[in-house]
């Protein structure tokens, strides 16, 4: 029989009077102020979203009442929410109910500063940044919020008084399923830093009902089920039913009598705002994350159809609207999936821009001047998902606000900036022009004109003297791919036909005839509607050159190829339409300039810059690793490092101190004990805390090379099996090899890797010959909360992507901050981490980025000679040692000399010998615990650069042009 959870303590009793030792009663509720008098507290009933009766005290009055907070007052406030916030039945008492009551209590401490921040931004009308992202991987809010409010101790004591434990209560909170990996976690770190540093900045995203998916590991590998994070409600949000904006899909474009274009007909929905407070650390600033849900008005419910029994039809409009925000990254194998993804991206862009523009107009009042927009608004596109911001802002400015094309383009270009997060071609989004034309017809018109003006700029830049160079630049830089060139550009690529084996001599007269098209006709073509049949609105007239002179023809390059898809290259649109393009690590930004966008860099070199990623030291050291944080503060002499990570460098001078090393090892072991429990709870495996904890947690992808890691483990296992028990112990350091991460639901090869890892684990972990010398664990459903437990306990962390393919990585920064030593390639931020922590404190292996292209070419030509150890491991896998699973496809991807998915594109075989030799050095270093602890300390001491505070300062100064706004 289950044991009942301890009940919440005595019923709520209204506290005495303002100025007493407890909290302040406003109406019939206790309001708990934060510890510092400068912080505000609630004067509104959040639960019912209505004003509480009775006069509301001013902030000055409330601040004067109490300068510190009493845990008993917090307990009373929590009890009040348990009794009166209508979420749970009164007869039920559980840690989950305690969590929701506690969260509402904390919300009371946030809301006044939240409202005050919003009001103050409006008052001072400073330039504000808006960060648009499809993902915000927030993690649990409770411990982070009370930590930023400096109330952790008081809430722990209050819950103790109520018969509860803070850690148990906090564990009831589900991770918000608003992101997948590094992209979303970076966005959340940035929000924390923006608030902490007092920058006027908001986040915009979508409120996914189910998020990505919950990962379940079975004997068949990964299975996906819907995430249920909203099942019990979200105490951290307020639905702003009064903040909603219309959105349109489909329809057609007509020109009105006012000369403007009008997008009419089609499907109409609305986006509704849900706001989440983002508190800063040791500051009153509380910024906002605004998430959009989608719906339609109630009158769209077809009551007649419902009463006639056609219930599906009756609710069709609601279902079509609401499904937009059901799932993060819905499968896009079908055309319906592609349409849904594009709807998501447009919803984010349009609702957010309408909201931003509304705020700009409200603040400007009677002095509204659209030329001021870029001096008041900065829009950052986090990757290519928000690319539609560019044509959408153009559409609103021209069609709604009545500005000219040139005025709108100037405003858009100065407002919008783009962060590139990848060099993978498949991640540089390309959308079907036909789907976009159907769904967003007005935006296609705008994109077509941007594309034509870009081509004219390219022609002006490079001229026609070297026609091959011009052709290559147009191929590289065009926004529309496999779409006819407009006539004004196509005429430059007229060439003589072949006739009876001889080339005709080109005549200037024929070229002149082909150039007779008037400027007005060109403009008419640009604005004409694109159709699926012709696919060439801009170039209908170009073939006339052939009609006028049959001895000449257009280069096939100028024409649409019906065998290939017509696409919109979203990354190119981002580069063209924004004033700044930044990579996220030094090596990545160089690849962006020299490879991915080289032609754009040559044309606009000042657009490109680097902003190395960072992570917040609040969540990723202070709150997730409190024992280590206490040690750091003790040895540095203060906790100032939490806001100024440069002070972490002060640990360097103590790196050899035996007392510090002893404390450091104790903290690490205590954190490892928590992971022992986590692994037992989530997998059933029992692991030893005395073994090295070797961790690779990140999205499952071939380029991240979890496959290299598990093959290295197999090699280790095979060598152990070939030895006597005595030699095994002598030759190998005990390890627990931990994996975590989700494979995208339709990424078959990634799911094969997950299955392979779990099959290896099932064999190794039950081998009595090996025992605790080697364990393999795949932690299911990896998320922020799991990371907050794993990272502080990790001793070796694997960041082993193929060089030149990881943009940055941010988990590598979190591991280093927590004293974990990295093994990795010179890829992404690894390069800078190694520079900062010292080469001797980083385990380096593998090919370097400049070598990769040549190595792939070598493989394609059949010249690669694999290391015998690599062949040995593959043969061992094929022997059936790991069960009856079929690994032919997985092993086959590492073989062959050509073809996608083969030929070892990610160079696992090339780097394998270097990798296992580097792992031998890891074992050697770990045997010397004094040396290892010194390396660990120096990793933490060398991590100051990787604070997101530093990154945000750079964005604010170099891209957004915003300054801190300090609340009075």
Residues tagged active-site: 421, 698-699, 704, 810, 814
DSSP for 780-804?
A: SS--HHHHHHHHHH-SEEEE-PPTT
DSSP single-letter state for residue 323? G
Rounded Cα distance, 110 and 99, in Å: 16
Rounded Cα distance, 286 and 266, in Å: 39
For residue 502, give Cα distances in angstroms to 228, 496, 498, 499, 551.
71, 10, 6, 5, 12
Q: Is 41 helix (H, G, I), strand (E, B) or coil?
A: coil
C-alpha angle with apex 187: 185 to 188, nearest 5 degrees? 65
Rounded Cα distance, 41 and 109, in Å: 5
The Cβ of residue 381 has, within 10 Å, a number of other Cβ atoms equal to: 25
For residue 336, give Cα distances in angstroms to 325, 435, 747.
15, 10, 18
Rounded Cα distance, 154 and 35, in Å: 9
Over 823-855, what HEC string results? Answer: EECCCCCHHHHHHHHCHHHCEECCCCHHHHHHH
For residues 589, 595, 597, 603, the Cα torsion angle rounded to the nearest 10 degrees is 100
Over 533-597, what HEC string results? Answer: CCCCCCCCCCCHHHHHCCCEEECHHHCCCCCCCCEEEHHHHHHHHCCCEEECCHHHHHHHHHHHC
* Residue linked to tokens 């919803």: 347
Q: Is 200 helix (H, G, I), strand (E, B) or coil?
A: coil
The burial of 520, by beta-carbon neighbours within 10 Å (0-12 exposed, 13-18 middle, 19 or more buried), is given as: exposed
Rounded Cα distance, 511 and 163, in Å: 89
Crossing angle (nearest 10°) for helices 152-161 and 71-84: 60
- As a whole number of angstroms, the longest Cα–Cα distance in the chain is 105
Residue 307 phi, psi (nearest 5): -70, -25
The two tokens of residue 669 are 């072991």
Closest C-alpha among 872, 877, 880, 852 to residue 912? 872
Rounded Cα distance, 647 and 808, in Å: 24
Q: Is 753 helix (H, G, I), strand (E, B) or coil?
A: helix
Half-sphere exposure of 948 toward its Cβ, with a 13 Å CA cutoff? Answer: 24
Rounded Cα distance, 767 and 714, in Å: 13
Looking only at the bridges linking them, the beta strands covering 238-249 and 267-279 are: antiparallel
DSSP single-letter state for residue 333? S
The Cβ of residue 906 has, within 10 Å, a number of other Cβ atoms equal to: 22
Cβ neighbors of 70 (< 8 A, separation 6 or more) are: 21, 22, 23, 154
Rounded Cα distance, 740 and 783, in Å: 9
The two tokens of residue 377 are 């608004």
Looking only at the bridges linking them, the beta strands covering 502-503 and 498-499 are: antiparallel
The Cβ of residue 263 has, within 10 Å, a number of other Cβ atoms equal to: 20
């Amino acid at each position: 029989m289950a044991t009942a959870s301890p009940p919440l303590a005595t019923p709520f009793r209204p506290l005495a009077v303002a100025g007493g030792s407890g909290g302040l009663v406003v109406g019939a509720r206790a309001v708990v102020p934060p510890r510092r008098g400068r912080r505000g507290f609630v004067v509104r009933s959040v639960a019912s979203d209505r004003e509480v009766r009775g006069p509301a005290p001013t902030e000055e009055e409330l601040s004067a009442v109490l300068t510190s907070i009493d845990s008993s007052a917090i307990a009373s406030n929590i009890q009040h929410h348990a009794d009166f916030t209508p979420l749970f039945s009164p007869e039920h008492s559980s840690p989950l109910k305690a969590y929701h009551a506690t969260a509402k209590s904390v919300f009371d401490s946030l809301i006044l500063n939240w409202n005050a921040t919003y009001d103050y931004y409006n008052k001072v009308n400073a330039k504000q940044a808006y960060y648009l992202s499809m993902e915000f991987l927030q993690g649990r809010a409770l411990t982070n919020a009370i930590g930023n409010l400096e109330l952790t101790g008081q809430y722990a004591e209050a819950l103790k008084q109520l018969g509860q434990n803070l850690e148990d209560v906090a564990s009831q909170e589900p991770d918000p399923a608003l992101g997948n990996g590094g992209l979303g976690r970076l966005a959340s770190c940035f929000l924390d830093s923006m608030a902490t540093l007092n920058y006027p900045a908001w986040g915009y995203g979508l409120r996914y009902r189910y998020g990505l998916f919950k990962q379940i590991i079975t004997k068949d590998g990964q299975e996906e089920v819907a995430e249920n994070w909203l099942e019990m409600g979200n105490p951290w949000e307020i639905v702003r039913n009064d903040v909603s904006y219309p959105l349109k899909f489909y329809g057609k474009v007509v020109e009105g009598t006012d000369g403007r274009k009008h997008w009419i007909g089609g499907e109409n929905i609305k986006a509704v705002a849900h706001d989440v407070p983002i508190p800063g650390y040791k500051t009153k600033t509380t910024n906002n994350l605004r998430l959009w849900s989608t719906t339609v008005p109630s009158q769209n419910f077809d009551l007649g159809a419902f009463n006639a029994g056609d219930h599906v039809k009756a609710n069709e409009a609601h279902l079509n609207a609401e499904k937009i925000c059901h799932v993060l990254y819905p499968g896009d194998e079908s055309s319906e999936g592609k349409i849904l993804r594009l709807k998501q991206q447009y919803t984010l862009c349009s609702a957010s821009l309408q909201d931003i523009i509304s705020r700009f107009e409200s603040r400007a009042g009677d002095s509204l001047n659209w030329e001021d927009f870029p001096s008041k608004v900065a829009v950052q596109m986090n990757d290519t998902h928000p690319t539609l911001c560019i044509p959408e802002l153009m559409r609103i400015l021209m069609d709604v606000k009545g500005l000219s094309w040139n005025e709108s383009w100037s405003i858009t270009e100065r407002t919008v900036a783009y962060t590139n997060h990848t060099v993978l071609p498949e991640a540089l989004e390309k959308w079907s022009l036909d789907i976009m034309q159907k769904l967003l017809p007005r935006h296609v018109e705008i994109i077509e004109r941007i594309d034509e003006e870009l081509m004219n700029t390219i022609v002006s830049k490079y001229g026609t003297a070297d026609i091959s160079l011009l052709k290559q630049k147009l191929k590289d830089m065009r926004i529309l791919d496999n779409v006819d060139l407009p006539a004004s550009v196509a005429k430059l690529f007229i060439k003589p036909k072949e006739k009876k084996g001889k080339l005709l001599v080109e005549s200037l007269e024929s070229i002149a005839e082909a150039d007779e098209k008037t400027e007005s006709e060109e403009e008419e073509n640009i604005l004409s509607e694109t159709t699926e049949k012709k696919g060439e609105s801009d170039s209908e007239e170009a073939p006339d050159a052939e009609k006028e002179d049959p001895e000449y023809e257009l280069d096939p390059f100028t024409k649409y190829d019906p065998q290939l898809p017509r696409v919109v290259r979203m990354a190119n649109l981002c580069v063209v339409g924004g004033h700044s393009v930044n990579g996220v690590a030094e090596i990545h930004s160089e690849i962006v300039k020299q490879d991915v966008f080289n032609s754009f860099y040559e044309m606009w070199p000042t657009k490109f810059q680097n902003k190395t990623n960072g992570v917040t030291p609040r969540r990723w050291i202070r709150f997730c690793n409190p024992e280590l944080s206490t040690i750091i503060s003790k040895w540095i002499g203060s906790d100032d490092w939490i806001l100024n990570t440069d002070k972490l460098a002060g640990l360097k001078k103590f790196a050899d101190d035996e007392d510090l090393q002893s404390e450091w090892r104790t903290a690490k072991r205590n954190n490892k004990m928590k992971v022992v429990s986590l692994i037992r709870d989530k997998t059933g495996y029992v692991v030893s805390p005395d073994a090295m904890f070797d961790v690779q947690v990140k999205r499952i992808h071939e380029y991240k090379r979890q496959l290299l890691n598990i093959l290295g483990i197999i090699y280790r296992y095979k060598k152990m099996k070939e030895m006597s028990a005595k030699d095994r112990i002598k030759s190998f350091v005990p390890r627990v090899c931990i994996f975590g991460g989700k494979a995208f639901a339709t990424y078959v090869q990634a799911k094969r890797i997950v299955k392979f890892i779990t099959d290896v684990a099932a064999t190794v972990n039950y081998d009595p010959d090996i025992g605790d010398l080697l364990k393999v664990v795949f932690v299911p459903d990896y998320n922020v909360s799991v990371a907050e437990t794993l990272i502080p306990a990790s001793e070796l962390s694997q960041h082993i992507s193929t060089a030149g393919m990881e943009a940055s990585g941010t988990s590598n920064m979190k591991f280093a901050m927590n004293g974990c030593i990295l093994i990795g390639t010179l890829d992404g931020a690894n390069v800078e981490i190694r520079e900062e922590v010292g080469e001797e404190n980083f385990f380096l292996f593998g090919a370097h980025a400049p070598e990769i292209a040549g190595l792939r070419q070598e493989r394609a030509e059949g010249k690669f000679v694999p290391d015998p150890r690599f062949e040995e491991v593959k043969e061992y896998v094929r022997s059936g040692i790991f069960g009856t699973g079929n690994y032919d496809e997985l092993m086959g991807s590492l073989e062959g000399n050509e073809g996608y998915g083969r030929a070892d594109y990610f160079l696992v075989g090339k780097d394998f010998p270097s990798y296992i030799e580097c792992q031998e050095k890891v074992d050697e270093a770990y045997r010397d615990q004094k040396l290892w602890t010194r390396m660990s300390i120096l990793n933490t001491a060398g991590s100051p650069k990787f604070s997101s505070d530093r990154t945000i300062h750079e964005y604010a100064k170099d891209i957004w042009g915003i300054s801190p706004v300090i609340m009075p």
